Amino acid sequence: MERSVYERYGGFAQVSRIVLDFYDRIMDDDDLGPFFDDVDMSRIVDHQTKFIAMLLGGPAHYTDDQIARVHSHLVIADAQFDRLSALLAETLADHGFAPEDVTLVVGEFDRRRGLVVKP
């Protein structure tokens, strides 16, 4: 039986490190960082760790409705989502993910664009 991307890259402990790095990059970004002013970052990191774990084939699960609901109050443009995708790809690559696995995970992330980007 083939192991999931989640299992191949170290499971929850590694996903936690990736997400912390990802959010450091987001917070340093002039366009994306302000989205996280005045938010409980520990809560966001916890949810995002579960979400990224899900994208990697891990045990967590978020429905499309949940994702849309938690982003409904935000005005996120395509350019900002593109930047998030790029930062995610960079972060995964910097943590040793093979190019095809980066493409797979970022593709799963991008598949949810319509749930968070406002038309």
Angle at 67 between CA 62 and CA 72, to 5 degrees: 160
* CB 92, CB 105: distance < 8 Å: yes
Q: What is the pLDDT at residue 115? A: 95
Domain ranges of the chain: 5-116
Q: What is the pLDDT at residue 24? A: 95
pLDDT in tens, 29-52: 999 999 888 889 999 999 999 999
Q: What is the pLDDT at residue 12? A: 92
At residue 81, does pLDDT exceed 90?
Answer: yes
**In b/e form, how buried is each residue of 32-55, taking b as 16+ CB within 10 angstroms?**
beebeeeeeeeebeeebbbbbbbb
The answer as to CATH 1.10.490.10 being correct for domain 5-116 is yes
* pLDDT class of 21 with cuts at 50, 70, 90: very high
User: What's the whole-model pTM score?
Assistant: 0.92
At residue 55, does pLDDT exceed 80?
Answer: yes
